[in-house]
Amino acid sequence: MDDNERAGAVAVTAAQRPSRLTRLRSAFRSRDWLGLGIELMVVTLGVLLAFQIDQWAQDRRESRDEQQFLERMWHETADAIEETEWAMTMHGRFRREFIQGFNALNDPVALARLVATPNIGCRAAVMPALGFNDTAFQELSASGRLNILSDTQLRADLRDVVAAQADAEGNRQNNYGLGIENQRALNPYYVLGMDENDNRTCRMDWPRLARDPMARTALVRSARLHTLLWNKRAYARDKLAIAHNRIACTLGKSDCRDEVRQIFRERPRYDVIPPEARDDVQRSAQMYQGS
């Protein structure tokens, strides 16, 4: 076969061979598109179902973690309220003692009664420190998982609690030096002793103190200092009560209340002496239960 014949045969063969487009069309027509569609649908549904199951499991874990956290916070806020009310009772009692002593300075009979009463006026620098029970919140906040709480208002309430507690503790530390100065002014009039159980006792020499202007001023400063700290504790107690009640209602606890009894409806003025601080220890403790 010569070259011309060979070239002609190649041309005939090329003409008879189907084109690429024809082959593609044939391949598309020969596909089982119904089967492919069903297979694609099954795969898609499987992936979506897997995502849904994973999301459901994650939601369950978060819900469980939230419930556990709320249970811890319910106990911790209840303990913190009790601690704070105890500190308030102490500040109110000490303030009342200093005012009682100051008001008796010009009354010899009243001074004689105070001399016979132990511990009156002896606690100018006694400022109860509290290890606030907020470890669960601090743990969650430090780990960046505070959003585990689905209630945004509860998150805000807990932040208010931490801010109020930090403010109260900061004021206690800052004013401790002032309490020491007041106690130095009163210290020359302390008469220390021991009772039958070897407990230390303290009595104030009120008649002699009445003649010392510096000591009289220390009485007033001590009363106002305990008033300031009482107000700080009371404001923190209000924030705790609000947060605790919201948690109790979320968990369906028996101490859930429709309205939370508060001492301050807004941030307290520190130049106002609360009348509650004049009450005795037992009455103060009853008033601040919030129930």
Answer with the residue of higher pLDDT: 286 or 260.
260
Reading the block at residue 52, the tokens are 């849904």
Q: Provide mean pLDDT across the span 175-189.
A: 91
Ranges of each domain in the chain: 66-287
Is 60 exceeded by the pLDDT of residue 290?
no
In contact, 141 and 118? CB cutoff 8 Å: no
Residue whose entry in the numeric block shows the structure tokens 């511990």: 119
The model carries a pTM of 0.72
pLDDT in tens, 72-94: 889 888 988 988 999 999 998 89
The pLDDT of residue 240: 92
Is 70 exceeded by the pLDDT of residue 64?
yes
For all residues of the chain together, what is the average pLDDT? 78
